[in-house]
């Protein structure tokens, strides 16, 4: 199970504002080049977004579904990527003084990703999380006035 955390120098509500904006998903998640809400209720349980992953001239789409949420503190997603199966991504926002400790826990659920899950895949997930959480921190911290 790939677990990583990041201290973001803003309040949990500022972080949640970015997580709750489906149009910003492609900005902080490593992998998707763009995202489109499929439902107007994001991040309500059951709401979905369509995302596109591009590698050179090749591209494919996947769907991310909200499986659980507690506004301002928890967001649990299931990302479905046709060829690889599905993965669970759990983001927890913990108040840390006036800042936020974001804990990200991701692991494969079904399909090829689950069957091939091994220490090398865990290492790749850790690298992905490092980039993803750093992007999230940068977006939230650079937009203090907008999201405060």
**pLDDT tens-digit profile of 101-120?**
999 998 888 776 666 666 77
Nearest to 24 by CA among 59, 49, 60: 49
pTM of the model: 0.85
pLDDT band at 145 (very low <50, low <70, confident <90, very high): very low
Domain count, the chain: 1
Name the average pLDDT for the chain. 85
Tell me the CATH number at 15.
3.30.530.20
Mean pLDDT is lowest, of 1-10, 23-32, 89-98, 129-138, for 23-32
Q: What is the rounded CA–CA span in Å between residue 103 and residue 54?
A: 27
* Domain membership flag for residue 50: no
Sign of the dihedral through C-alpha 20, 22, 25, 27: negative
The per-residue pLDDT for 51 is: 84
Whether 87 is covered by a domain: the verdict is yes
CA 121 to chain centre: 17
Which of left, alpha, beta for 31 (phi over 0: left; psi -120 to 50: alpha)? left
- Sign of the Cα torsion 125, 127, 132, 134 reads positive
Give residue 28's pLDDT. Answer: 87
């Amino acid at each position: 199970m790939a677990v990583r955390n990041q201290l973001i120098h803003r309040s949990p509500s500022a972080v949640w504002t970015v997580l709750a904006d489906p149009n910003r998903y492609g900005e902080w998640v490593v992998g998707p080049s763009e995202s489109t809400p499929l439902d107007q209720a994001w991040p309500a349980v059951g709401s979905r977004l369509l995302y596109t992953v591009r590698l050179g001239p090749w591209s494919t789409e996947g769907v991310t579904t909200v499986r659980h949420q507690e506004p301002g503190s928890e967001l649990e997603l299931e990302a479905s990527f046709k060829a690889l199966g599905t993965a669970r991504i759990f983001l927890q926002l913990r108040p840390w003084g006036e800042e936020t400790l974001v804990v990200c826990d991701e692991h494969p659920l079904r399909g090829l990703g689950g069957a091939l899950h091994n220490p090398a895949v865990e290492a790749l997930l850790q690298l992905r999380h490092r980039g993803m959480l750093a992007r999230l921190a940068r977006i939230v911290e650079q937009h203090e006035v907008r999201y405060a």
